A and B are shown apart, each in its own frame.
Chain A
Amino acid sequence: MAILVIADHDNAALKPATLNAVAAAQKIGSDIHLLVAGQGAQGVAEAAAKVAGVSKVLLADDAAYQHHLPENVAPLVVGLAKGYGHVLAAATSEGKNLAPRVAALLDVAAISDITGVVSPDTFERPIYAGNAIATVQSADAIKVITVRATAFEAAAATGGSAAVETVSGTGDAGVSSFVGQELTKSERPELTQAKIVVSGGRGMQSGENFKLLEALADTLGAAVGASRAAVDAGFVPNDYQVGQTGKIVAPELYIAVGISGAIQHLAGMKDSKVIVAINKDEEAPIFQVADYGLVADLFKAVPELTAELDKVR
């Protein structure tokens, strides 16, 4: 049976996490179809058709899908799903919002945030903030799955030449409407895609002090993240949060500054290749996962580090 992957996009471009979901689909089977539901999303469908390993793109272009409201998109997916053995989405805020709604309408379980494919019906997923890995087997005819992007190397964005097929929409369910959005604007790389991430915690003491981290990040071409404590304190917006219920990142280099290292934070970054911790408390749990720990006053160490890196890079 073919696999349906739901594309995550903003009507203008495909979100990179979609490529990781396609990669997970490739571990399950070979006939992979990508669904683009949106409005004015022809360009996204064309990009989707180029993704390596995708054999068909389904484009549902309808005003009701402009903001991807799950009340409108779920019936579309449910209508299509009957012809598939698997329905996958990236475990982004959109995928997490939509997939369980689809699963319930199909009367099947949803399998959240998979990090491994053991066989077409058996998957690995983290539980308890990643402190245990469960292997679960589904007996349902259709497996509805969200994919943790950092666990699967992205499929190539080019090289494919799938046909684009138009599918008709299911209309507006009439129970929800989009009011507005406030998106954080940044010139820096996107947090979940960045090769280097610099994150700050409660130790930063204020939002103003995050400028120190931004300077360091800009020297490294890095993204800026934060712990829950820093977000709750209002230092930075919610979309900076790395952790169990925030963003999951796995960059080449993660620099944790003034972060104590609660298990909920570690859940979001412990798969990073190299972890650096800078904290004045030498007992901070973050040092237990850090490859390189520096016990120091961050207000002295961070500017010094930025200056040193300026010299060597």
Chain B
Amino acid sequence: MKVLVPVKRVVDYNVKIRVKADGTGVETANVKMSMNPFDEIAVEEAVRLKEAGKASEIIVVSVGPTAAQETLRTALAMGADRGILVQTDAETQPLAVAKVLKALVEQEGPTLVILGKQAIDDDCNQTGQMLAALLGWPQGTFASKVVPGEGTVTVTREIDGGLETVELKLPAVVTADLRLNEPRYASLPNIMKAKKKPIDTVAPDALGVDVAPRLTTLKVAEPPKRKAGVKVADVAALVDKLKNEARVI
């Protein structure tokens, strides 16, 4: 089966972000960008399915600026077969991305779409669910285990109370949670090989998708800062503070 893996280029998870002084957004110029960590887990899962003989081809897709090609190359170096860049400099919101992905699914015919459960920039946690809805496919969100069967996939999900297991008819959408796997580092030979793998570039218009945002961001602000606290000398001093100053015990 073919597996489609959408990946997003985001500010690296180690970067301490800065809100722009004019309140229009977050500073992304000259900031280290990487693949969304949850998408890395999705790529890894697809590669493992291929290594296990369960997946025949892995197509990675990114919707974003030209620089998102780097993100696709990272996925190709991890073991994906080819890439598609849906090139746009506009802000891409989850519904628009889901519509782009739906168009690509119809074109490429994958049996499984695996993507990260959420991007660490907008923290939306929507795209997988939206794509499944638009396709009329079942969804296995927040997956910590994915086991393909005959015409089905069994997904163990991380839920508030623990774990839940569901069986989905294929084709299906799965969104990766943290503990699905530990993504590999691409080896140097694989990074070199990835440079020769094909990446197609298309425009959203060519797919017949309107990517205009539905939400307008009026303002981006810093959250209220916590006041710096104090260090206490020992346990007795801590208990005294909690009891007599903070009055929480």
Contact = CB atoms under 8 A, between A and B. Distances in A.
A290 B229 contact: yes
B229 A126 contact: no
B130 A101 contact: yes
Interface stretch (A24-32, A55-63, A158-166, A177-185): A177-185
Nearest to A195: B248
A239 B130 CA distance: 25
Interface in A103-123: 103-105, 107-113, 122
A238 interface: yes
Interface in B92-119: 93-95, 98, 117-118
Contacts of B13: 264
A304 interface: yes
The B interface, classified by DSSP as helix, strand, loop or mixed, is: mixed
Interface in B121-179: 121-134, 136-139, 141-142, 144, 154, 157-169, 172, 177-179
Contact of A110 (B118, B126, B167, B179): B126
A209 interface: no
Contacts of A220: 249
A275 B248 CA distance: 10
A308 B235 contact: yes
Contact of A239 (B128, B159, B216, B246): B159
B162 A309 contact: no
A305 B231 contact: no
The size bracket of the interface on A is 35 or more
B202 interface: no
B226 to A, nearest CB: 5
A227 to B, nearest CB: 12
Most buried by A among B118, B123, B215, B220: B215
A237 B17 contact: no
Interface string A82-109: 0000000000111011111111110111
B120 A70 contact: no
B229 A275 contact: yes
Contacts of B231: 282, 287, 292-295
B90 interface: no
A107 B139 CA distance: 18
Nearest to B233: A294
Interface stretch (B67-75, B80-88, B236-244): B236-244
Most buried by A among B16, B121, B144, B163: B163
Interface in A251-307: 252-253, 263-264, 270, 273-276, 282, 287-296, 301, 304-305
B162 A109 contact: no
A126 B223 contact: yes
Contact of B218 (A111, A136, A196): A136
The A interface, classified by DSSP as helix, strand, loop or mixed, is: mixed
A69 interface: yes
A287 B228 CA distance: 8
The size bracket of the interface on B is 35 or more
A33 B197 CA distance: 54
A238 B218 contact: no
Given A93-B142, A180-B165, A104 B130 contact: yes
B64 to A, nearest CB: 17
Contacts of B123: 112-113, 125-129, 244
A1 interface: no
Contact of B17 (A125, A132, A133, A293): A132
B230 interface: yes
B118 A245 contact: yes
A27 B202 CA distance: 43
A231 interface: yes
For the complex of A and B, list the 6 residue pairs with the smallest distance between their C-beta atoms, beginning with the closest.
Answer: A100-B129, A104-B130, A109-B214, A100-B126, A104-B133, A291-B229
Given A70-B129, A125-B123, A301-B235, 9 more contacts: A67-B166, A96-B141, A102-B133, A109-B95, A131-B19, A175-B169, A175-B172, A287-B231, A309-B239
Interface of A: 67, 69-71, 74, 92-94, 96-105, 107-113, 122, 125-140, 173-184, 192, 196, 220, 228, 231-232, 237-239, 244-245, 247, 252-253, 263-264, 270, 273-276, 282, 287-296, 301, 304-305, 308-309, 312-313
